[in-house]
A and B are shown apart, each in its own frame.
Chain A
Amino acid sequence: MSDVTFKSSIAIAETPFDRVADKGLQGLLASAPRLPGWLGKVALGLVVPFALLALWSYAVHQEWLAEQILPDPRLVYETTADLIATGQLPGELLVSLGRVAAGLAVGGGLGLLFGLAFGLFRPLDIYVAPTVRAICLVPSLGWLPFFMLVFGIGEALKIILIAKTCFLPLMVSAYEGIRSRPRKYDDVARALELPWLARVRLVVWPSILPAILTGVRQALSRGWKVLILVEMISSAAGLGYLMMWGRKAFQLDVVFATMIVIGIVGWALDYALTRFQHRATGWSFKTAA
């Protein structure tokens, strides 16, 4: 909102586009009850989930599917509450989050380094990058049989597969960030006699940070998905394991509870990162560089 205040204090040649746009949004929200802004947003965001829940209840009530296949939402709710109360769900969730964090740190970090290297050094880009990209484009599941034989089915396998998944988004975004960064600021850096380190830290890095954060978001959401897959294939802990266990025991309520948790946590992670991105590189959403 602060930018609107800034702009309105300028008398000369000011186009009120922002305020028009604001009104448009507010007009849409006006139909919702008078609530603080964020609360209204939350309420609007919950409309579709509740509609789905209603549909689900209706489907169960009408017995569209067998009870064993589509469990009652109330049962799923009780199961979820149960799993949380016994500490099993939080435990599995922590295991999964730990794996994703490790995989993202290793794979994302390497991807960032490779992307920066390819973006900065032309020979590397020409000799090495095509191979690396091709290797990455073989899906994680394609690598699984080989990885299983080499690394076994322990913890290393999971983290390596997540790392492999997180590698490409960060490599590509760092590379593209370097390649497409606005060169006009280099003149500024030179004219201001900035030493090499200051140039990288103050001019180059901030200009590619938006691309990198977008890469982190992609890496995280892909890593999250592949984690569940890996845990379903070989694991004795984690959300994917819990889901697999539910399937084998033919307890679809556990499966559904896990699905919902996976979805909500995945969304929350992405949302938190998006918020962070807006905070850290808010300028990039408003500047046509």
Chain B
Amino acid sequence: MADALTLSRPKTVEVGSVQISDVSKTFRVEGRTVHALDDVSLAIASGEFISIVGPSGCGKSTLLRFLAGLDGPDSGRIAVDGEVIDRPSLKRGIVFQDHRLLPWFSVEKNIALSLHSLAGSEAEKRERVQYLIDLVGLSGFEKALPHELSGGMSQRAAIARGLAPRPPLLLLDEPLGALDSLTRSYLQDELLAIWEREKSTVVMVTHDVEEAIYLSDRVVVMEPRPGRIAKIFEVSGKRPRHRDDPDFVTIRREITDLLAHRRD
């Protein structure tokens, strides 16, 4: 299955690196100024899996929307492979927390929608869609409408939609946040497998510290008011990781302590 790629993309250059420099954003909420992001800088290497954790209001989702190009910062610069982001692009796939599949289209059509603006024949696109449906384990549900799917299946379809245009950078906004723990840990493993196969850079926003450590190369901990990066943790150790590994436990304690400390 791994070699069944149809739209081949020669990987000659490293792509999907991110440079975030001095990014700030303020919102006006009921006459008060809220510093959603304050001078945030971060460099993400090509092929890296990065998680951003932090309490609500720390600006992690805002940062992800900037990366997607759905919104822009007040000041500072965000570039992917040296190119400043000024609007959304299929080179940056995004998966939202609430899957956001169009309820009037089948799974198949929802995924195909992300190939709408790409060159390529209908047959090629159909093949790509079918490959992704198989990849995320939705074979047999091609014609199903979103309301006929469970939460986990919907989210898998949304991930397939995000992956379809083969984005060098995949942005995940709490993609598993709304799922029960069983489905969730199952999809975490699937996500890892997909990432290893597709070799794209992944930036994931999550509430779940364990999930972040389990999946990522680095975990970025953010703090609110103003939204800043508190600390970046390197996670070493081969995947699949074990949640009861001493290293895993230590890093989890450090992060939860940091989060608890910042909350006061």
Contacts and interface: CB of A to CB of B under 8 A. Distances in A.
A283 B107 CA distance: 13
Interface in A205-228: 206-207, 209
A14 B150 contact: yes
A183 to B, nearest CB: 11
B117 A287 contact: no
B146 A287 contact: yes
A192 B116 CA distance: 8
Interface in A1-41: 2-3, 6-7, 10, 12-14
Contact of B183 (A7, A13, A287): A13
- Most B CB atoms within 10 A — which of A12, A185, A195, A207? A12
Interface string B113-144: 11011000000000000000000000001001
Contacts of B105: 202, 206
A185 B146 contact: no
B117 A7 contact: no
Given A6-B144, A10-B153, A187 B70 contact: yes
A113 interface: no
Given A12-B183, A187-B100, A198-B116, A3 B147 contact: yes
A202 B150 contact: no
Contacts of A281: 104
Interface residues of A, number: 31
B149 interface: yes
Interface string A222-257: 000000000000000000000000000000000000
Contacts of B141: 6
B186 to A, nearest CB: 9
B148 interface: yes
Contacts of B113: 192, 194, 202
B90 A284 contact: no
B180 A191 contact: no
Most chain B CB atoms below 10 A, which of A2, A14, A202, A283:
A283
A184 B114 contact: no
A278 interface: no
Given A184-B100, A191-B69, 12 more contacts: A3-B148, A6-B148, A10-B153, A12-B150, A185-B100, A190-B88, A191-B68, A191-B94, A192-B88, A192-B90, A192-B117, A203-B102
